[in-house]
Amino acid sequence: MIKILECDNKKAFVLNTDNTTYCFKVMETNHLEHLYYGKTFGNPDKLSIDDILAMSEKKEFEEGNMIVYDAEHKNITFENMCLEMSSYGKGDIREPFIEMTFSDGSSTCDFIFKDFIVDNEKEEYHTLPGSYFSGDGCKHLKIILTEKNHNVDLELDYFVYENEDVISRSAKVINNGEKDVLLKRIMSAQLDVNADDFVVRTFNGAWAREMGVNDTNINSGIFINSSFTGTSSNRANPFIILHEKNVTEDNGNLFGFNLIYSGNHYESVSVNSYGKTRILTGINPEQFSFLLKEGECFEAPEAVLSFSDKGYGGLSGNLHEFIRNHIIRKEFSKKERPVLLNSWEACYFNINESKLIKLAKAAKEVGVELFVMDDGWFANRNDDSHSLGDWYVNKDKIPGGLSGLAKKINALGLSFGIWVEPEMISVNSELYEKHPDWALEIKGYSHSEGRNQRILDLCNPKVCDFIINQMSEVFESADISYVKWDMNRIFSDVYSPYLRDKAGNYQGEVFHRYVLGLYRIMKTLTEEFPEILFEGCASGGNRFDLGILCYFPQIWASDNTDAISRAYIQEGYSYSYPLNTFTSHVSSVPNHQTLRSVNLDTRFAIAFFGTFGLECNLSDMPEKNLEEIKEMVKLYKEYRDVIQNGTYYRGRSGNIHEWTCVSKDKKRAVGMIMQELVKPNTQFEMYRAKGLNPDYKYHFYNISKRHDIRKFGDLINTVAPIHVKQDSALHNVIAKFVTMPGEIEDLTVLGSVLMNAGVKLKPAFSGTGYNENTRYFQDFSSRLYFMEAVD
Q: What is the mean pLDDT of each run of 10 residues along the chain (791 residues)?
A: 86 96 96 97 87 90 90 91 96 97 96 96 92 89 97 98 98 97 98 96 98 97 98 99 97 99 99 97 98 98 99 99 97 97 98 98 99 98 98 98 99 99 98 98 95 98 99 99 98 96 87 99 99 98 99 99 98 99 98 98 98 98 96 98 98 97 99 97 95 98 95 93 94 94 97 98 94 96 98 81
Distances (CA, A) of 394 to 353, 366, 401, 623: 11, 29, 8, 33
**Distance, CA of 766 to CA of 690 (rounded, Å):** 29
Contact yes or no for 93/87 (Cβ under 8 A): no
**Distance, CA of 600 to CA of 586 (rounded, Å):** 8
What local confidence, expressed as pLDDT, does residue 5 receive? 93
pTM score = 0.97
Contact yes or no for 364/416 (Cβ under 8 A): no
Q: Which amino acid is at 403?
A: S
What local confidence, expressed as pLDDT, does residue 504 receive? 76
**Distance, CA of 489 to CA of 467 (rounded, Å):** 18
Tally of helices (H runs) and strands (E runs) in the chain: 16, 40
Using a 10 angstrom Cβ sphere, with 0-12 exposed, 13-18 middle and 19 or more buried, the burial of residue 737 is exposed
What local confidence, expressed as pLDDT, does residue 675 receive? 97
Phi then psi for residue 752, to 5 deg, are: -65, -35
Q: What is the DSSP letter of 208?
A: T
Distances (CA, A) of 115 to 9, 154, 297, 503: 13, 11, 18, 36
Element (H, E) at 188: strand 181-193
Using a 10 angstrom Cβ sphere, with 0-12 exposed, 13-18 middle and 19 or more buried, the burial of residue 736 is exposed
CA 773 to chain CA centroid, nearest Å: 41
**Distance, CA of 81 to CA of 62 (rounded, Å):** 12
Of 157, 192, 559, 601, the active-site residue reads 559
Task: Provide CB contacts within 8 A for 238, sequence distance 6+.
Answer: 225, 227, 232, 258, 259, 261, 265, 267, 281, 545, 546
> At the fourth CATH level, which superfamily is domain 2-326?
alpha-galactosidase from lactobacil brevis (2.70.98.60)
**Distance, CA of 415 to CA of 369 (rounded, Å):** 6
**Distance, CA of 675 to CA of 652 (rounded, Å):** 11
Annotated active-site residue 486? The verdict is yes
Contact yes or no for 693/666 (Cβ under 8 A): yes
Of 486, 545, 562, 601, the active-site residue reads 486
Element (H, E) at 205: strand 198-206
Element (H, E) at 567: helix 563-574
Other beta carbons less than 10 A from residue 98's beta carbon? 24
Phi then psi for residue 160, to 5 deg, are: -105, 120
**Distance, CA of 505 to CA of 497 (rounded, Å):** 9
- Please give the torsion angle defined by the CA atoms of residues 74, 77, 83 and 87, in that order, rounded to the nearest 10 degrees: 110
Strands in 399-478 per DSSP E: 415-420, 424-425, 454-455
- What's the angle, vertex CA 363, arms to CA 357 and CA 366, rounded to 5? 150
- What's the angle, vertex CA 294, arms to CA 293 and CA 298, rounded to 5? 60
Contact yes or no for 557/577 (Cβ under 8 A): no
**Distance, CA of 49 to CA of 15 (rounded, Å):** 14
**Distance, CA of 299 to CA of 125 (rounded, Å):** 7
Phi then psi for residue 435, to 5 deg, are: -135, 65
487 closest CA partner among 427, 434, 535, 437: 535
- What's the angle, vertex CA 593, arms to CA 589 and CA 598, rounded to 5? 30
Phi then psi for residue 401, to 5 deg, are: 70, 180
First to last CA, the chain: 39
Domain extent listing, the chain: 2-326, 668-790
What local confidence, expressed as pLDDT, does residue 7 receive? 74
702 closest CA partner among 601, 609, 567: 601
Contact yes or no for 15/22 (Cβ under 8 A): yes
